[in-house]
Amino acid sequence: MSDTLQLAKDLISRPSVTPKDEGCQLLMIDRLESVGFSIKSLKFGEVENFWATHGDTGPVFVFAGHTDVVPVGKNWQTDPFNPIVKDGLLYGRGAADMKGSLAAMVVASERFVADFPSHKGSIGFLITADEEGPAVDGTVKVCEYLKKSNQSVDYCLVGEPSSTEQLGDVIKNGRRGSLNGRLTIIGKQGHIAYPHLANNPIHLAIPALDDLCRELWDEGNDYFPATSFQISNVHSGTGVTNVIPGNTEIVFNFRYSTESTHEQLQDRVAAILDKRALNYTINWEHSGYPFLTPEGDLVNACVDAIQVVKGIDVELSTSGGTSDGRFIAPVLDAQVVELGPLNATIHQVDECVSTQDLDDLTDIYYQVLKNILV
């Protein structure tokens, strides 16, 4: 059993359902301390985080990730916290997202500092247990702490599962921003047989929602697809058939490109609603800025590492959901990429990862370190 596989199994065996850590970070800290890393434990609220460094000069290359996992769900073929290997696959909650990546980061760093004890620059680890949950007391707080401490970060590799068909085929070199809206359209409740005495908010909402769905928010650019508007929930009514409701609530989300800002999107939504002369309230939650790392030192180091280890071409992508890169890139002004195992089973029952991919990912991370710090 490889060092990476053994550490991945040890991490998976700890039921760290968000925001719990259940000793995962202590496992990593013990390994990193034993090869000369300095550790700063950072607890915000009830969330465990840590910052580790090896070296005290620039450039600063950071591995970032999370020890928390999503709830397991039902009908697993195996115990999700008793990891097993079957037919070359490691099964367990967090195998792909992202305890396998964490194990690969640690083992790659151990090997690197043994082979290059006087490497240039610094290696950092930014680890949280609050990525799969609210993400309030995790990476965002650590980034704020690092900024106040004048700790710079030049390059950051987030171990999120980025690959699609084979390990290393996709690197996420950016992510879209995320803006949530909760819209309440206010009508007047009444008896359904006397509509002239009421004002049906569902009927009022339909033309406005059609306008929002048809709107071209932007056309994207070379790195980002066009901004997307999607309705996720519609709530209204009293549960009976003879009452016109008094209001309708619509929950929606923008995944937006760098061609728009969240302020512009908010203003445009308001203009569309006002054009329909609606009585409404709207509450906004901005959960992530878009970020982009164009081709350069970090992207090139990762592409080269994948070609050395896997011998395949790499696609750069900004698709998918958000990650903690949305905090690291803007707060610390760092180049950020996401590079990890296949994402085919993440958050699913019977989550798994190839054991060979774990060893290859370790080699890729090691090669990235060489490309940046040797």
The residues assigned a catalytic role are 68, 131
Q: Report strand pairing: 243-244 vs 291-292.
A: unpaired
The answer to whether 335 touches 300, Cβ cutoff 8 Å, is no
Q: Using alpha carbons, select from 145, 224, 237 the residue that is nearest to residue 187.
A: 237
Q: Report strand pairing: 60-66 vs 122-128.
A: parallel
Q: Using alpha carbons, select from 185, 187, 186, 212 the residue that is nearest to residue 268.
A: 212
Residue 72 has phi, psi (to 5 degrees) of -80, -30
C-alpha span between 26 and 194 (Å, rounded):
66
Structure tokens at 11: 């991490």
> What length does the chain have?
374
Q: How far is CA 327 from CA 33, 58, 138, 144, 152, in A?
A: 26, 21, 10, 9, 14
Distance of CA 69 to the CA centre of its chain: 12
Q: Which long-range contacts (CB under 8 A, 24 or more apart) does 328-331 make?
A: 328/62, 328/64, 328/126, 328/139, 328/143, 328/153, 328/156, 328/158, 329/156, 329/289, 329/291, 329/293, 330/289, 330/291, 331/140, 331/143, 331/144, 331/147
Beta strands in 164-227 (DSSP E): 170-172, 174-175, 177-186, 190-191
Q: Using alpha carbons, select from 112, 175, 164, 93 the residue that is nearest to residue 357.
A: 164
Amino acid at 190: G
**What element of type H or E holds 237?**
none
Beta strands in 201-329 (DSSP E): 228-236, 243-244, 247-256, 280-288, 291-292, 315-317
